[in-house]
Structure 1
């Protein structure tokens, strides 16, 4: 089940987006503006068009399943903006129009500890704390509307450092959160995900019920490890759902978008279904029919995890903490995860295109030729599970 879908990438995205204004902080109070030209990141925008300084929702129809919320939506990730000095907070400025039940949102994230932090909604003119001091931020525009009619927009976007936000409201965990949640199969081949990816047969991605952890189309910036008792999959987060769209349950309770009285790791849909939380309904007032906290594309559900039916799985949200990482460097399909460092080892899982994988250590095994050259190095990504480093963009790790 999936809540929202974006339509296919609209033509003409080569047009220039809004100009960002970055304040260069030689001191915390400096107000010297510098204009920074910004373009949409290639492949990371969907169903938007540009008119002057405005980014406007396109007219492509919603792609939905029979039980899903019917919405049109568009997304535009903008080129990162770099400041000459690190800042712990920013002020994002923009104008917006939201006619006829539509919505417009601008999100921000920061480059912290050599990786992108999670997306956070930024109110216009309001200081937004970053999860750590950073000299590089990126903005994202999210537009949603009913199936016909309204075309919300965002324009005149600016961003500048500030020292007026309390960074303690956001936290960085020492280790990624792992929780046991109910998984359902997404399916919907031919549909379009919330980041503009068109779903193919036996696809490899997952959906989570908040855009805070939504990766760009073709990116594995936000990836999960999903495990059953005997198999694991490493997959990028390319869609939003099930049930809710503002349930970032992997975050500490105090920083969740909604449902701040629920414990970290417990999806709202699970609490609603099992305990009657929120009257047994989701954020849209619909009666929750199952406790799902993650959707799995067909290739993840059937092939990587060999699941015969919907059920509980162990999910690790890899961007929520530190640890060794590598990125699956393949152009399509998936990479087999094997039970030994050998290309003849039994397949015990899969890793999707662009997904991040956890790396515990490295060892030697059979020689493999892949996108990263020829190598006999294998990476242990889970207890008793290995992938060939010849297909993983990663550094060097300790010996197993």
Structure 2
């Protein structure tokens, strides 16, 4: 847990600049202690990526650490603060910064009681519902990016329109998948890539899960549906870093004129969109909208070359979720280990539990049980490997 005591918060607030900027800001209104608090910028842990407190500011730790491959050619860093409980429910967090340079972005996400995390959103943007817990992260882009202090203020404001008609799987699109590789490199959330690793990369931080969590998980399947993998989003890319193409145009971070589900790189490659270039001016050499860790690519989907796949962005959906505590775990065609494997569920992945059936007894790390969870049509996991669930209780099938 990060803690930082700042004496005289009211004094600190004088002259702060608001992020994101709107009009000339005044001091934030007084709030309860838990709804107005300073960010612990001086506390950097293993969950953070390429940032350090140096002198009087949070800065990039290694200016030479430019991401590998088709990720951003610009050095970046990420400070992820511990979740913060609010005294009263709210649906907006504003950020007030001091001595912030260009390239400093404050983002947050929220969680209602007993619910799932929202997508990461810029500070100052309203969520669709009130939440009781929030988490802050500070992103630095560019080797000179720095910020001295951040004070957060949570409040209730008119909510953003809720997404309509979501199924358990959430938004689904067919996109081109490439193999990430890069064994030994560090992902955008600080994970060091291992051989045959089970994670994916998407071209926006909005769906980036903190290290060793599956808060943002995709279900990626071959177009025939014969193989699927549930895997956490642990990296940003390919090509772009602000392309949350799975979201509706109205809330899409960039390229709002493209239809939902169409990555900018795909439009650039196929149609010459943006002059055939990505956001950094690089010529797009393939239409990739998702990168697959080698374990997902080779073992989960049994791919031998880059390919079109069907992707469900599960955090945009609803319903009961189970966390795979020990994996990669075989997805079975029925409620027993003798049934054919249909793919994998990676460690930390959050899988939708539609209902459960009684089947073969399995002794796993979390229980010995005959319960098998149905996570899709003809897809079952032993509940002995599910470490926790959210969103309520699943019914019997």
- Cα displacement (A) at 1:83: 2.2
Structure 1 pair 266/17, CA: closer, same or farther in 2 (3 Å)?
Answer: farther
Moved more, 366-375 or 387-396: 387-396
Alignment of 1:363-382 (within 5 A): 363-382=357-376
Structure 2 Cα separation of the partners of residues 321 and 372 of structure 1: 26
Structure 1 pair 128/18, CA: closer, same or farther in 2 (3 Å)?
Answer: farther
Structure 1 Cα separation of the partners of residues 340 and 191 of structure 2: 31
Structure 1 pair 151/274, CA: closer, same or farther in 2 (3 Å)?
Answer: same
Q: Deviations over 1:120-144 (max 9, x none)?
A: 122xxxx321231123221101112
Structure 1 pair 172/83, CA: closer, same or farther in 2 (3 Å)?
Answer: farther
- Say whether residues 1:56 and 2:49 are aligned partners: no
Moved more, 198-207 or 55-64: 55-64
- Say whether residues 1:385 and 2:385 are aligned partners: no
Q: Would the aligned equivalents of 1:17 and 1:50 in 2 still touch at CA under 8 Å?
A: no
- Cα displacement (A) at 1:174: 2.6
* Paired residues, number: 368
- 2:335 aligns to what? 341
Gaps of at least 5 residues in structure 1 are: 1-13, 24-28
- Root-mean-square deviation over aligned CA pairs: 2.6
- Say whether residues 1:153 and 2:146 are aligned partners: yes
- Cα displacement (A) at 1:215: 0.5
After TM superposition, the score normalised by the length of structure 2 is 0.85
- Say whether residues 1:297 and 2:293 are aligned partners: yes
Structure 2 Cα separation of the partners of residues 178 and 64 of structure 1: 28
Structure 1 pair 382/65, CA: closer, same or farther in 2 (3 Å)?
Answer: same
Structure whose residues are more often strand by fraction = 1
Alignment of 1:150-189 (within 5 A): 150-163=143-156, 166-168=158-160, 171=163, 174-175=166-167, 176-189=170-183
Alignment of 1:1-400 (within 5 A): 31-32=30-31, 34=33, 36=37, 43-51=46-54, 54-59=57-62, 61-62=64-65, 64-65=67-68, 68-98=71-101, 103-112=103-112, 114-122=115-123, 127-145=124-142, 150-163=143-156, 166-168=158-160, 171=163, 174-175=166-167, 176-228=170-222, 229=224, 230-330=226-326, 333-395=327-389, 396-400=393-397
Structure 1 Cα separation of the partners of residues 283 and 228 of structure 2: 31
After TM superposition, the score normalised by the length of structure 1 is 0.85
Structure 2 Cα separation of the partners of residues 161 and 141 of structure 1: 16
Structure 1 Cα separation of the partners of residues 211 and 387 of structure 2: 19
- Cα displacement (A) at 1:18: 7.8
* Secondary structure at the counterpart of residue 119 of structure 2: coil
- 1:6 aligns to what? none
Q: Deviations over 1:145-174 (max 9, x none)?
A: 2xxxx34222321111235x5423664763
Gaps of at least 5 residues in structure 2 are: 14-27
* Secondary structure at the counterpart of residue 107 of structure 2: strand
